[in-house]
Amino acid sequence: MSQLSLKQREAGDVTVLDLSGKITIGEGSVQLREAVRGLLDNGKNKILLNLGDVSYVDSSGIGELVSSYTTVNKAGGQLKLLNLTKKIQDLLAITKLLTVFEIHEDEGTALSSFK
């Protein structure tokens, strides 16, 4: 069974990726990277990552979130985060990344924030 499950849905021109499981070195990080690159390849550059069901993230997973963010930005798009667990919020806060990402707790607000 894979470490990370990704479900894709569309809300207008925003693509929501519902993630559940682990974003850690190896399979989980690679799955996230490939999913984001696949969306960009298909011209979808407004991406909302729903992390509400992500149980575990390591430094590699945090690095992959950062890479995804910079890759999407460079492609002229926007990547935002939704429903951070306390653990992910702590990991981002400790490494001063809360200020880098745009983070939302409500999906409706998150969707309407995309330009």
Region from 13-21, 42-50, 67-75, 76-84 binding other proteins, contact rule CB under 8 A: 67-75
Cβ proximity to other proteins, 5 vs 24, nearer residue: 24
**Which of 45, 64, 81, 110 forms a contact with other proteins (CB under 8 A)?**
64
Q: Does 59 bind other proteins (CB under 8 A)?
A: yes
On whether the CB atoms of residues 63 and 30 are closer than 8 A, the answer is no
CA 80 to chain centre: 7
Tell me how far apart the alpha carbons of residues 78 and 105 are, in angstroms, rounded to a whole number: 17
Q: Does 100 bind other proteins (CB under 8 A)?
A: yes
C-alpha angle 21-22-23 in degrees, rounded to nearest 5? 130
For residue 32 the two structure tokens come to 């996230």
Q: Does 2 bind other proteins (CB under 8 A)?
A: no
Cβ proximity to other proteins, 89 vs 107, nearer residue: 89
- Residue type (1 letter), 92: L
First-to-final CA distance of the chain: 37
**Which of 2, 8, 95, 109 forms a contact with other proteins (CB under 8 A)?**
95
* Sites of contact with other proteins (CB under 8 A): 24-26, 58-60, 62-64, 66-67, 69-70, 87, 91, 94-97, 100
